[in-house]
Structure 1
Amino acid sequence: MPRPLILVTNDDSIVAPGIRALIDVMKTLGDVVVVAPDSPQSAMGHAITINNTLKLEKVTIDKELEQEYSCSGTPVDCVKIAIHEILKRKPDLCVSGINHGSNSSINVIYSGTMSAAVEAGIEGIPAIGFSLLDYSWDADFEQIKPHVKQIAAEVLKKGLPEGVILNVNFPKLTKEEIRGVKICRQAKAMWQEEFDKRTNPQGKEYYWLTGKFVNLDKGTDTDEWALENGYISIVPVQFDLTAHHAMQQLNSWEL
Structure 2
Amino acid sequence: MTKKPLILVTNDDGITAPGIRTLIAVMQEIGDVVVVAPDSPQSATGHSITINNTLFVNKITKDGDATQEYSCSGTPVDSVKVAVHEILKRKPDLCVSGINHGSNSSINVIYSGTMSAAVEAGMEGIPAIGFSLCDYDWNADFEPTKTFVKQIAQEVLKNGLPDGVILNVNLPKLTAAKIKGIKVCRQAKASWQEQFDKRTNPQGRDYYWLSGEFVNMDNGEDTDEWALANGYVSIVPVQYDLTAYHAMQKINNWNF
Alignment TM-score, normalising by the size of structure 2: 0.97
Partner of 2:83: 82
Q: Does 1:21 align with 2:25?
A: no
> Post-superposition shift, 1:65?
3.8
Q: Does 1:93 align with 2:117?
A: no
Q: Does 1:59 align with 2:60?
A: yes
Residues 210-250 of structure 1 deviation map (CA, whole Å, 9 limit, x = unaligned): 00000010100000000001110000000000000001101
SS, match of residue 178 in structure 2? coil
> Post-superposition shift, 1:117?
0.1
Q: Does 1:130 align with 2:104?
A: no
> Post-superposition shift, 1:66?
4.1
Maintained 8 Å contact 1:106/1:190: yes
> Post-superposition shift, 1:25?
0.1
Uncovered stretches (5+) of structure 1, i.e. residues with no partner: none
Counterparts of 2:197 and 2:43 in 1: how far apart (Å)? 20
Partner of 2:206: 205
Residues 103-134 of structure 1 deviation map (CA, whole Å, 9 limit, x = unaligned): 00000000000000000000000000000000
Counterparts of 1:21 and 1:199 in 2: how far apart (Å)? 41
**Matches of residues 176-191 of structure 1 in structure 2 within 5 Å?**
176-191=177-192
Counterpart of 2:43, as a letter, is S
Counterparts of 1:65 and 1:252 in 2: how far apart (Å)? 59
Counterparts of 1:153 and 1:220 in 2: how far apart (Å)? 27
**Matches of residues 18-57 of structure 1 in structure 2 within 5 Å?**
18-57=19-58
Aligned length: 254
Partner of 1:144: 145
Counterparts of 1:64 and 1:185 in 2: how far apart (Å)? 40
Partner of 1:219: 220
**What root-mean-square deviation, in Å, do the aligned CA atoms of Structure 1 and Structure 2 show?**
1.1
Maintained 8 Å contact 1:7/1:32: yes
Maintained 8 Å contact 1:19/1:98: yes
SS, match of residue 236 in structure 2? strand
Residues 55-87 of structure 1 deviation map (CA, whole Å, 9 limit, x = unaligned): 1000139x9544200000000000000000000
Counterpart of 1:13, as a letter, is G
Maintained 8 Å contact 2:99/2:131: yes
Residues 150-176 of structure 1 deviation map (CA, whole Å, 9 limit, x = unaligned): 000000111001100000000000000
SS, match of residue 70 in structure 1? strand
4+ residue segments displaced more than 4 Å: none
Maintained 8 Å contact 2:44/2:113: yes
Counterpart of 1:141, as a letter, is F
Partner of 1:165: 166
Uncovered stretches (5+) of structure 2, i.e. residues with no partner: none
Counterparts of 2:226 and 2:11 in 1: how far apart (Å)? 25
Maintained 8 Å contact 2:6/2:32: yes
Counterparts of 2:13 and 2:119 in 1: how far apart (Å)? 17
Partner of 1:251: 252
SS, match of residue 155 in structure 1? helix
Maintained 8 Å contact 1:33/1:65: no
Counterpart of 2:124, as a letter, is E
SS, match of residue 99 in structure 2? strand
Task: State the identity as a percent.
Answer: 76
SS, match of residue 154 in structure 2? helix
Counterpart of 1:21, as a letter, is T
Maintained 8 Å contact 2:35/2:67: no
Counterparts of 1:83 and 1:144 in 2: how far apart (Å)? 27
